[in-house]
Structure 1
Amino acid sequence: MNDRTVNTALQLSIAAVERDTGIGKDTLRVWERRYGFPQPHRDASGDRLYPLDQVERLRVIKRLLDGGHRPAQVVALPIDELDALARGRSSVETSPDAAVASGREQMPAESAEVHAYLALLKRHDAELLRRALLQDAMRMGISRFVTEVVAPLNYGVGQAWMRGELEVFEEHLYSEVIQRALRTAIDAIPLGEAAQSRPKVLMTTVPQEPHVLGLLMAEAMLALEGCRCVQLGAQLPLGNMLMAAQAHAADVLVLSFSSLLQAAQVFDALAELRDRLPRAVELWAGGSNPALRKRLPEGVRVTAALTDLAHSVHDWRERHRVSGF
């Protein structure tokens, strides 16, 4: 294999970079013109190709933007300065994902349990990590497990990555293990009586949102309330959400939005869905995206914290009991 082939194989297209980093194609092009970074190569067709070292730098930039920095402050910085910022306390303290994940206004300092789980993750023993998580779920009950273990651990893993203590593959390993553990715990929750299993809830994300961990945490809380939950996975086209709502005779459509999406993407998706869904199907939204804390289309219910879901279910049942359901 010649050098040119090797170099091409180790570069990503602009679409792959968007998926990998969460930074949109248009944004990448604007940064290229405005800040001189990234600096993609071109293939024979003139399409952009991004070397892996630039993709890694873009990942750090995205973390810093999520932590409150502005593009003009960080995009043009060299990787050593970006790493120094990522390890600093300011970006950790201002991370927008913290409060919504657990329902607390501020995340506590990383606990001994979080440090213990991070140590297991660094050992790369996925099965041991999964068993330890399931033991905590059985010991604590799933509600406390989700809010007191999973939410702080998600935050701790993210911050460990920012401090340079975890590699990307280790973060991916954690995501896979925690999703398996949550699904196992959810499957162990007994289904309530038919009369108490409503609302029937569809759960998914919009096409630009690849993250499903928040959905699984919400499903755990809803299942504890006796809801029938149907997981449709991530990135479902909006038209298919409408078809699924009809096919499953859904009462509620639940969407999760991470900080990956721009505010306009959140607003547009919610407005279109609320306009096209039958009025009897409620639309609930949750997650860490800051747009959810702003004015949203009428008819969208925001659950600011996982612990709010029980109240949302109780409220739904009260209203529909009065209506004769």
Structure 2
Amino acid sequence: MQLGIQQLSDAVGIGVDTLRVWERRYGLPCPTRDGRGRRQYDATQVELLRQVRQLQLAGWRPQRIFALNASERADQLRQLQPDTAVEASADWLSLPVAQLQTQLRAQLNQLGIEAFVVRSALPLLAQMDAGWCSGRLTIAQEHLLSDTLSAVLQDWMAGQTPSAAPDLAPARCLFATLNGERHRLALLLAAALLRSRGLNGLLLQEPLPVSEVAPLVASLELSAVALSFSSHYSARQALADLQLLRRQLPTRVRLIAGGQALASVARLPGVLLCHDLRQCAPLYRRLGLETAPVMIP
């Protein structure tokens, strides 16, 4: 079966722009062309790119990955397997959905939201990424697992009472994705963590055009905007969107951003970057939120 570049992107979890850069720079993927000159990719390219994606998830940079041939990458994956095992106590992907949801709810109630994110939610996402890269998960299964975790988190957030000092209105944040971004689980996790520290807000279910963010913030008198950009989103476009939004938003409105598309960005003026949900303390401090440490059992 031959895939187009968007289908290849969906199959391996790597953005189209990134695939094009890698093709020019490293020679992978290596497409054939159909009668109209359009790129076509076979199952071999899918498997090779899944290897690359798994090494990325283990923290390898592209230059290091592409310095190896396919056999050497496979050897590295076998060696890394014990060290990159997720922290979850069970193979989440093997559980029936109803049982998974029950276990996630029980762990959330037992651990509290911050420990739950570290010990349950992020390991589940890691297993989903690995399952996707290895071909173990289908698109339907990945969506079902994502929806299950989303439901648990949204139910928890719905039960939280907005917090504020007696003489202050609660800080309010817009949690949103932009048009073209199909993944929002990381944003939902960030929203739950920030809610636990007193940053209340509006979590949109559907993506927004970038042009509509600033008017919405003004109409609702919000104090912050949080955006997430997955690896499927163009890194160049994410930077352009953030720079445009920073110009459009009042200086009093904090702009927060994170996600794999921004993983290589160390600093962006006027934007609070959060690269790791396990290490949110600096973000809490810059937002003026409660910063007392939370013990992770």
Q: CA deviation at 1:33?
A: 5.5
SS at 1:175 equivalent: helix
Of the three residues 253, 263, 272, the one matched with 1:290 is 263
Higher-helix-fraction structure: 1
SS at 1:185 equivalent: helix
| Number of equivalent positions | 283
Structure 2 match to 1:301: 272
Structure 2 match to 1:144: 115
SS at 1:302 equivalent: strand
Contact 1:203 1:230 in 2 (8 A): yes
Superposed CA offset, 1:66-110 (max 9, x none)? 5314357438834x54433333329966xxxxxxxxxxxxxxx74
Larger radius of gyration: 1
> Quick one: distance in 2 between partners of 1:30 and 1:301?
27
Specify whether residues 225 and 86 from structure 1 end up closer, same or farther in structure 2 by C-alpha distance, changes over 3 A only.
Answer: same
Unaligned 5+ runs, structure 2: 291-297
Contact 1:251 1:282 in 2 (8 A): yes
> Quick one: distance in 1 between partners of 2:268 and 2:174?
20
> Quick one: distance in 1 between partners of 2:15 and 2:128?
24
TM-score, normalised to structure 2, is 0.75
TM-score, normalised to structure 1, is 0.70
The code of the aligned residue for 1:136 comes to Q
Specify whether residues 237 and 74 from structure 1 end up closer, same or farther in structure 2 by C-alpha distance, changes over 3 A only.
Answer: same
> Quick one: distance in 2 between partners of 1:85 and 1:171?
26
SS at 2:288 equivalent: helix
Contact 1:65 1:71 in 2 (8 A): no
Structure 2 match to 1:322: none
Structure 2 match to 1:70: 62
The code of the aligned residue for 2:100 comes to L
Superposed CA offset, 1:96-135 (max 9, x none)? xxxxxxxxxxxxx744xx132x1x4224x11110111001
> Quick one: distance in 1 between partners of 2:82 and 2:60?
7
> Quick one: distance in 2 between partners of 1:172 and 1:255?
21
Q: CA deviation at 1:189?
A: 1.6
Of the three residues 50, 64, 89, the one matched with 2:80 is 89
Matches within 5 A, 1:230-309: 230-233=202-205, 236-258=208-230, 264-287=236-259, 289-292=262-265, 294-297=266-269, 299-303=270-274, 305-308=279-282
> Quick one: distance in 1 between partners of 2:135 and 2:40?
28
Contact 2:229 2:238 in 1 (8 A): yes
The code of the aligned residue for 2:49 comes to L
SS at 1:296 equivalent: coil
Structure 2 match to 1:189: 160
Superposition RMSD in Å: 3.6
4+ residue runs over 6 A deviation: none
> Quick one: distance in 2 between partners of 1:54 and 1:110?
27
2:221 is the alignment partner of 1:211: no
Of the three residues 27, 31, 45, the one matched with 1:40 is 31
2:86 is the alignment partner of 1:128: no
The code of the aligned residue for 2:120 comes to V
SS at 1:219 equivalent: helix
SS at 1:291 equivalent: coil
The code of the aligned residue for 1:199 comes to A
> Quick one: distance in 2 between partners of 1:69 and 1:122?
30
